[in-house]
Structure 1
Amino acid sequence: MASQTAGRLCFSNVTALAPMVRVGTLPMRLLALDYGADVVYCEELIDLKMVQCRRLVNDVLQTVDFVAPDERVMFRTCERERDRVVFQMGTADPDRALSVAQLLQDDVAAIDVNMGCPKEYSTKGGMGAALLSDPDTIVAILNKLVKGVSKPVTCKIRILPSLDDTVSLVRRIEQTGVAAIAVHGRLKEERPRHPLHCDYIQAVARAVDIPVIANGGSLDLVKCFPDIQEFRAATGASSVMLARAAMWNPSVFRQQGLLPVEEVMEGYLKYAIRYENNPFNTKYCLCQMLRDKVESPMGKQVQTAQTNAEICAAFGMQEDFEKVQVLLRSRREALQSSSPPSLPVTEGGVTSMAVKFERRQYPAQITPKMLLLEWSRREKLLQPLYQTVERPQARSFQSTVSVAEQRFRSSLWEKSKKSAEQAAAVVCLRVLGLPEGRLGEEDAGPPRKRKLLDGAEERREEREDTVANGNRDEPDTPQ
Structure 2
Amino acid sequence: MASNRLSFRNITALAPMVRVGTLPMRLLALDYGADVVYCEELIDIKMAQCQRVVNEVLQTVDFVAPDDRVMFRTCERERGRVVFQMGTADPDRALTVAQLVQKDVAAVDVNMGCPKEYSTKGGMGAALLSNPDRIEAILKKLVSGLDIPVTCKIRILPSVEETISLVQRIERTGVSAIAVHGRFKDERPRHPVHCDYIQAVAQTVSIPVIANGGSSDPVKTNADIEEFRKATGASSVMLARAAMWNASVFAKQGPHPVEKVMEEYLKYAIRYDNNAFNTKYCLCQMLRDKVESPLGKKVQAAQTNAEISEAYGLQEFYQQIQDQLQTRRDALQSSSLPDRPVMEGDVTTMAVKFERREYPPQITPKMFLLEWSRREKLEQPLYEIVQRSQDRAFQATVTVADKKYRSSLWEKSKKFAEQAAAIVCLRVLGIPEGRIGEEDSGLVCKRKRERKLNGTTEEEETEGSKKRHVVDIKRRANGDDHEADAPPEQT
Fold-level similarity (TM above 0.5): yes
Query: Aligned with 1:300: secondary structure?
Result: helix
Alpha-carbon distance in 2 for matches of 1:313, 1:227: 36
Aligned residue in 2 for 1:188: 185
Query: Which residue of the partner structure matches residue 482 of structure 2?
Result: none
C-alpha separation between the residues in 2 aligned to 1:354 and 1:135?
Answer: 58
Which residue identity lines up with residue 358 of structure 1 in the other structure?
F
Shift of 1:240: 0.5
Partner of 2:81: 84
Q: Label 1:171 to 1:424 Cα distance change in 2 as closer, same or farther (>3 A).
A: farther
The alpha-carbon deviation at position 323 of structure 1 amounts to 2.2
Post-superposition offset of 1:243: 0.7
Q: Match of 2:37, SS?
A: strand
Preserved contact between residue 376 and residue 384 of structure 1 (Cα < 8 Å): no
Question: 1:365 is matched with which residue?
Answer: 367
Equivalent AA in structure 1 for residue 180 of structure 2: V
Q: 1:35 aligns with which of 19, 22, 32?
A: 32
Q: C-alpha deviations, 1:313-372, integer Å up to 9, x for none?
A: 22222222222222222222222333352799999x89897845538687333559x98x
Which residue matches 2:429? 435
C-alpha separation between the residues in 2 aligned to 1:217 and 1:130?
22
In the alignment, structure 1 segments of 5+ residues that lack a partner are 378-382, 446-454, 468-473
Structure 2 CA distance, aligned partners of 1:294 and 1:304? 12
**CA shift at 1:300, angstroms?**
1.5
Q: Tell me what 2:223 maps to.
A: 226
- 2:154 and 2:103 map into 1 onto residues whose CA distance is 25
Which 10-residue stretch deviates more, 276-285 or 191-200?
276-285
2-structure distance, mates of 1:313, 1:457: 31
Query: Would the alpha carbon gap of residues 267 and 457 (structure 1) be closer, same or farther in structure 2, given more than 3 Å must change?
Result: closer
Amino acid at match of 1:229: E
**Unaligned 5+ residue runs, structure 2?**
359-363, 436-440, 442-457, 471-488
Q: Please tell me whether the aligned partners of residues 337 and 351 of structure 2 are also in contact (alpha carbons under 8 angstroms).
A: no
Shift of 1:435: 3.4
- Name the stretch that deviates more: 40-49 or 319-328: 319-328
Q: Give CA deviations for 1:228-247 in whole Å, capped at 9, x if unaligned.
A: 10111111111101110000
Aligned-residue offset at 1:440: 9.0
Structure 1 distance, partners of 2:460, 2:410, is: 31
Is 1:164 aligned with 2:161? yes
Spell out, residue by residue over 1:395-423, the C-alpha distance to the aligned partner (whole angstroms, 9 max, x if none).
234578999xx999876544445766787
Whether the 8 Å contact between 1:63 and 1:79 is mirrored in structure 2 is yes
Give the number of equivalent residue pairs. Answer: 449
Q: Separation in 2 of the partners of 1:466 and 1:13? A: 70
Q: Which amino acid aligns with 2:264?
A: G
1:333 corresponds to 2:330: yes
Change (3 A) 1:460 1:408: closer
Q: Which residue of 128, 131, 136 corresponds with 1:134?
A: 131
Alignment partners' CA distance in 2, 1:420 and 1:176: 55
RMSD of aligned residue pairs (Cα, Å): 3.9
Q: Paired residue for 1:147, among 133, 144, 147?
A: 144
Q: Counterpart amino acid of 1:295?
A: E
Q: What secondary structure sits across from 2:73 in the alignment? A: strand
Distance in 2 (CA, whole Å) between partners of 1:437 and 1:359 is 18
AA of the residue aligned to 1:255: K
Partner of 1:107: 104
The range that moved more, 299-308 or 328-337, is 328-337
CA contact (8 A) 1:214 1:240 kept: yes
CA distance in 1, matches of 2:98, 2:307: 37
**2-structure distance, mates of 1:460, 1:79:** 45
**Which residues of 2 match residues 54-453 of structure 1 at below 5 A?**
54-341=51-338, 355=351, 358=354, 363-366=365-368, 388=386, 390-391=388-389, 394-397=391-394, 412-416=409-413, 435=429, 439=433
User: For the residues of structure 2 that align with 1:275 and 1:21, how far apart are their CA atoms?
Assistant: 18
Q: What TM-score do the two structures reach when normalised by structure 1?
A: 0.81
The code of the aligned residue for 1:222 comes to V
Q: Deviations over 1:280-299 (max 9, x none)?
A: 21111111111111122222
Please tell me whether the aligned partners of residues 89 and 112 of structure 1 are also in contact (alpha carbons under 8 angstroms): yes
Quote the residue 1:463 is aligned against. Answer: 466
| Structure 2 Cα separation of the partners of residues 375 and 51 of structure 1 | 52
| Residue identity opposite 2:187 in structure 1 | E
Q: Secondary structure at the match of 2:89?
A: coil
Contact kept in structure 2, 1:367 and 1:436, CA below 8 Å = no
Equivalent residues of 2:368, 2:434 under 8 A apart: no
Aligned CA distance change for structure 1 residues 461 and 238 (closer, same or farther; 3 Å): closer
C-alpha distance 139-426 of structure 1, shift in aligned 2 (>3 A): farther
1: distance between equivalents of 2:285 and 2:460? 52
Deviations 1:213-240 (A, max 9, x none): 1111103111111111011111111110
Amino acid at match of 1:365: M
How far apart in 2 are the matches of 1:53 and 1:74?
8
User: In structure 2, do the counterparts of structure 1 residues 136 and 465 end up closer, same or farther at CA, with 3 Å as the change threshold?
Assistant: farther
Distance between the aligned counterparts of 2:410 and 2:67, measured in 1?
13
Gap change, CA 1:424 and 1:320, over 3 Å in 2? closer
Matched position secondary structure for 1:106: coil
Q: After TM superposition, give the deviation of residue 426 of structure 1 in Å.
A: 8.7
Percent of aligned pairs sharing the same letter: 68
Q: Is the CA contact 2:52–2:64 (under 8 Å) kept in the aligned structure 1?
A: yes
8 Å Cα contact 1:350-1:409 kept in structure 2: no
Closer, same or farther in 2 for the Cα pair 1:333/1:289, shift >3 Å? same
Alpha carbons of 1:460 and 1:351: their partners in 2 closer, same or farther (altered >3 Å)?
Answer: closer
TM-score of the pair, normalised by structure 2 = 0.79
Q: 1:121 to 1:330 in 2, by over 3 A?
A: same
Aligned to 1:24, which of 21, 29, 38? Answer: 21
Shift of 1:45: 1.0
Q: Judge which range, 412-421 or 135-144, deviates more.
A: 412-421
